[in-house]
Amino acid sequence: MNKEKPRAVVLVSGGQDSATCLALAVSQGFECYALSIDYGQRNILELNAAKQIAHALKAKKHVIITADLRQWGGSALTDDAIAVPEQSAQGTPITYVPARNLIFLSFATAWAEVLGARDIFIGVNAVDYSGYPDCRAPFIENFRRTANVATKAVDEGWEFNIHTPLQEMSKGEIINLGHRLGVDFSLTTTCYNPDIHGGACGKCASCLLRRQGFKDAGLPDTTKYAK
Amino acid sequence: MNKEKPRAVVLVSGGQDSATCLALAVSQGFECYALSIDYGQRNILELNAAKQIAHALKAKKHVIITADLRQWGGSALTDDAIAVPEQSAQGTPITYVPARNLIFLSFATAWAEVLGARDIFIGVNAVDYSGYPDCRAPFIENFRRTANVATKAVDEGWEFNIHTPLQEMSKGEIINLGHRLGVDFSLTTTCYNPDIHGGACGKCASCLLRRQGFKDAGLPDTTKYAK
């Protein structure tokens, strides 16, 4: 361990947002511990992408925790009986996974406590994912307070910092930032419904956002689309 | 589903406290969904005990979620390199598992959201486990607020209730309550370090509390101790 670098746990999903978030944490001088969750997600390519991203961005360690949320389903991403829509609808999207970021941040907090890390990074975004309650600032702030009293932090007199650097950025801004930080976006996958060869569908809400993001950023979209 | 009964998610560990908590939730008229977490705990008998308890107390369903916290260790219960002490020490006990109840309640919240349940029961106790930050009232209250903004609750205008009925009870009071509610304590296991046949060590902090609890309750201790 390099004693001069503070440690941080960074949630890495395999998508372009969390990849940019990891690159940012590295650029800010943190020794980064990348954490991915195998929750039974529909896109099975995500975890392999996360592994490659963590390696490419020189995370100190990458851990994948298995927690099979398919046992109760409740989302198009964890329940085969619920189809992924091609367009976004009003209200909470059917791709919302109940309490997913609550679970992810809880794992991140646990690992951070063991590592002696006070900093946790999560690439949530409240612009494109405004329908997801667990991407919004009030959730993050309440989670931070909870993490501080859930752990030794409360007895030892220190606090966790939950970093959400992408919270208010547009997809174009995120892609521009990641590009400047050296993220290889061809490693990332964001499609809700890719084909078995890894081709993105190009039509789901996530693909549409990604396509528009590269366009807005004025950068070539290296994503392999099925159509 | 009996439409007249509200649903509740109850965390069931296999020990006497959570068994009493489940019995209480059932007695209060909830249709109970029992949740156990296979986190790599040292006492491998716990999950089987939880299964039997859920069945005996007529939980509607019992789900075991696997989330291997041994990947980062940090506790005598999840790291073979850390021995379980026979006596309690000052400060945070070495048997504290970092952020365990934060993770457990996060899973319970996710399942509750999918089930349409607003009630979650957890058998935390702040008397005997005062050294565990995640057993105290401020953690529970902060978690409740976080769960309410982490989920559709915030958009739909309802709130979760986190029930901690054992919070201020002594071990003797808990055992008396469970006994009145028909809990078969011979199904429960609480030892931090049982032998392979399921015999409790009789010497760890958990065994000492259990022994004293039956004594205080004036009830026979049906636990099978190795010594």
State the average pLDDT over residues A16-22. Answer: 97
Q: Give tens-digit pLDDT for A101-134.
A: 999 999 999 999 999 999 999 999 987 777 899 9
Q: Which residue has the tokens 């039974």?
A: A40
State the average pLDDT over residues A25-35. Answer: 98
Q: Give tens-digit pLDDT for A60-101.
A: 999 999 999 998 988 888 888 888 776 555 678 888 889 999
In order along chain B (227 residues), what is the average pLDDT of each group of 10 residues? 83 96 98 95 87 98 94 85 70 86 97 97 86 92 97 94 96 96 94 83 89 95 82
From chain A, pick out residues whose CB is under 8 angstroms from the CB of B155. 91-92, 133
Three-class SS state of B84: coil
Instruction: State the pLDDT at residue B111.
Output: 97
Minimal C-alpha gap between A118 and chain B (Å) = 13
Residues B102 and B134: their CA atoms lie apart, in Å, by 7
Mean pLDDT over each residue of chain A, to the nearest integer:
91
Nearest to A143 among B133, B146, B154 (CB): B146
Instruction: State the pLDDT at residue A3.
Output: 66
- Percent of chain A exceeding pLDDT 90 equals 70
Instruction: State the pLDDT at residue B190.
Output: 87
Q: What is the ipTM of this complex?
A: 0.92
From chain A, pick out residues whose CB is under 8 angstroms from the CB of B102. 106, 109-110, 146-147, 150-151
Instruction: State the pLDDT at residue A88.
Output: 56
Instruction: State the pLDDT at residue A80.
Output: 83
**Cβ atoms of B217 and B179 closer than 8 Å:** yes
From chain A, pick out residues whose CB is under 8 angstroms from the CB of B69. 110
**Kind and range of the H or E run holding A27:** helix A16-27
- Residue B70, burial from CB neighbour count under 10 angstroms (0-12, 13-18, 19+): middle
Instruction: Identify the contact set of chain A against chain B, taking CB-CB distances under 8 A.
Output: 63, 65-69, 71-74, 91-92, 96-103, 106-107, 109-111, 113-115, 133-134, 136, 138-139, 142-143, 145-147, 149-155
Instruction: State the pLDDT at residue B205.
Output: 85
Q: What is the edge-to-edge ordering of all strands in the sheet holding A7-11?
A: A61-66, A31-38, A7-11, A119-121, A161-163
Find the closest chain B residue to A38 by CA distance.
B67
B88: left (phi over 0), alpha (psi -120 to 50) or beta: beta
Domains of chain B: 7-190 (3.40.50.620)
| Vertex B37: Cα angle to B185 and B224 (nearest 5) | 25
Residue B32's alpha-carbon distances to A108, A110, A218, B6, B38, in angstroms, are 29, 28, 54, 9, 19
Instruction: State the pLDDT at residue B87.
Output: 57
Three-class SS state of A154: helix
| A227 — pLDDT class (breaks 50, 70, 90) | low
Instruction: State the pLDDT at residue B86.
Output: 66
Residues A196 and A45: their CA atoms lie apart, in Å, by 9
Q: Give tens-digit pLDDT for A181-216.
A: 999 999 999 888 888 777 899 988 889 999 999 999
Instruction: State the pLDDT at residue B102.
Output: 97
Q: Give tens-digit pLDDT for A160-178.
A: 999 999 999 999 999 999 9
Instruction: State the pLDDT at residue B42.
Output: 76
Instruction: State the pLDDT at residue B127.
Output: 79
Report how many Cβ contacts below 8 Å link chain A to chain B. 149
